[in-house]
Amino acid sequence: MAQVRFSNIGKTYPNGFEALKPTDFEIQQGEFAVLVGPSGCGKSTLLRMVAGLEEITSGELSIAGRIVNAIDPADRDIAMVFQNYALYPHMSVRKNIGYGLKNRGLPKTEIARKVDEAAALLNLGDHLDSKPSQLSGGQRQRVAMGRAIVRDPALFLFDEPLSNLDAKLRHQMRIEIKALQRRLGVTSVYVTHDQVEAMTMADRIIVMNAGRIEQIGTPAEVYHEPASTFVASFMGAPPMNLMRTRAEAGQLHLNGGALCETEHEGEVVVGVRPEDFLPDPDGAISMQVDIVEELGGHRLLHGQIGDDTVTVHVSNEFAAETGPLDLSVKPGAVCVFDAEEGHRI
C-alpha cells in the first residue's frame, strides 16, 4: 500500500523560483526512503511540503490515503526531526517529548507512560529532568527522536538529522535510527546530502538534482545501474569513472583498447566503477598510474586512461606502483550514457 503519494507535486517559491519540478512517485508502507542530492537541489523543500511547513503550489499529496494539501502540520499525523534538533529550550526533556501528546488531549498518566517508554528505548532515562542546553549533541538528537516516536505517527520525516554530529557518533546514530525504524515499522522519509548515509540506510534512494528527481531505486540499483551521469558521479566514493569515447562497429574502445560490445553507435560516455577495473597483464586498457593511495584494507590508484582522469580500486594484496598498468573490466560492469543528455542508454 502506498503510504505517501506524490501526484504531480511541484513547488514555485513566491519569488518565482521553481524549487521542485512537478513529479510523481510513491513511498510504500514501512519503507525507509532517503532523499539525497547536492546542496540546494530542493530536498528540504520537498520534505517541508510533506510536513505542511511549505505550501504545495501544484499537485496533490496524500498521506495514508488522505489528501493533505490543505491540512495543518499538526493534523497530518507526521513527526519531524530537524537538523538542529529544534528542541524547546525552556522545557525539560520530559516536557519536550510529551508536548505533542499533551496537545492531543492524552491523559497525564498515558503521556508519562509513553515518555518513559521512549526514554528507555533511547537511553534517556537519566536525563528526563534536564534542559536541552545541559545535553550533548547526541543526547539532543535522541530527545528529538523521542519526540517523534511518542507520537506514533503514520510518517517520520528527517531533515539531515545527523549532520551536526561528529563522524563516530553519526555512524552510531545512523545504525540506531535505522534499527528503530525497522522495529517500529513506521514509513520514513530521510533527507541527507551524504551519499554514504543514503546507501547504508535506505530501502529506496531518491536522487535529486536541481529540483528534479534523477532516479528512484534500491541502493544497489542506484549504485550499479545509475540512470544518468549525475547519479553515477554523485553516488559512490570515489565516484564512477566517466570517460568520453566512441562506439564503432558494435564495439566500445577506451584509449585504443577494446572495452566491450555494444549496440550503440557514435559518441557516448562510458562509466566504470573503480572496483570494476581489474589489473590484468593481458588487459587491453592501459592506464598511467600517478598516485597510489594507501587505505589499509585496499588501495586506490589515481591516474590517466588517455585524456581521462580515473581512479581504480585494488586489494592490498596487489603490489601497486606508479607507472603504466594494464587493466581489464569485469564483464557487464560498463554503463553507457548519452554523450549529450547524460542519461543512460
Partner 1 sequence: MKRAGFSTPWLPVLLLVPQLAIIAIFFYWPAIVALHSSFYLQDPFGFGSTFVGLENYTHLLGSAEYRRVAVFTLTFTLLVTFFSLALALLLAVKADKVLRGAKTYRTLLMWVYAVAPPVAGFIAVILFNQSWGPLTELFGLFGHTYMVGVNFNDTAFAMILASVWKQVPVNFIFFLSALQSIPRSVREAALIDNRSASGRFWDVTFPLLAPTGFFLLIINITYALFETFGIVDTVVKGEPGNNPMTLVYKVYVDGFRGNDLGGSSAQSVILMVLVLALTIFQFRLLERRIHYT
- The footprint of partner 1 (CB under 8 A) covers 51-53, 72-75, 78-80, 82-84, 86-90, 99-100, 103, 131, 133, 147
Choose one: 43-51, 71-79, 101-109, 247-255; the region binding ligand ATP (CB under 6 A).
43-51
- With CA atoms as reference, report the closest residue to 320 among 279, 283, 286: 279
Cα dist from 49 to 68, 135, 163, 258, whole Å: 10, 30, 21, 49
Closest approach of Mg ion to the CB of residue 87, in Å: 19
Residue 44 in the binding site for Mg ion (CB under 5 A): yes
Closest approach of Mg ion to the CB of residue 55, in Å: 17
Q: Report the chain's terminal Cα–Cα distance, integer Å.
A: 31
What whole-number distance in Å separates Cα of residue 240 and Cα of residue 95?
48
Closest approach of ligand ATP to the CB of residue 155, in Å: 18
- Footprint on residues 203-242 left by ligand ATP (CB under 6 A): none
Which helix (DSSP H) or strand (DSSP E) does residue 50 occupy? Answer: helix 43-51
Choosing from 17, 67, 134, 166, the residue that interacts with ligand ATP (CB under 6 A) is: 17
How many chain residues bind Mg ion (CB under 5 A)?
Answer: 1
Residue 238: asked if its preceding bond is cis (omega within 30°), the reply is: yes
Residue 45 in the binding site for ligand ATP (CB under 6 A): yes
Choosing from 4, 42, 143, 150, the residue that interacts with ligand ATP (CB under 6 A) is: 42
Cβ atoms of 189 and 3 within 8 Å: the answer is: no
Closest approach of Mg ion to the CB of residue 99, in Å: 24
Within a 10 A sphere around the Cβ of 321, how many other Cβ atoms?
8
Closest approach of Mg ion to the CB of residue 44, in Å: 3
Give the single-character DSSP code of 274.
G
Residue 193 in the binding site for ligand ATP (CB under 6 A): yes
The rounded radius of gyration (Å) of the Cα atoms in the chain is 24
Residue 55 in the binding site for ligand ATP (CB under 6 A): no
Residue 192 in the binding site for Mg ion (CB under 5 A): no
- Residue with CB nearest ligand ATP? 44
Which helix (DSSP H) or strand (DSSP E) does residue 36 occupy? Answer: strand 32-36
Sign for the pseudo-dihedral over CA of 53, 57, 62, 66: positive
19 binds, among Mg ion, ligand ATP, partner 1, none (CB under 5 to 8 A by kind): ligand ATP
Within a 10 A sphere around the Cβ of 303, how many other Cβ atoms?
19
42 binds, among partner 1, Mg ion, ligand ATP, none (CB under 5 to 8 A by kind): ligand ATP
Q: Return residues touching ligand ATP (CB under 6 A).
A: 13, 15, 17, 19, 37, 39-45, 193
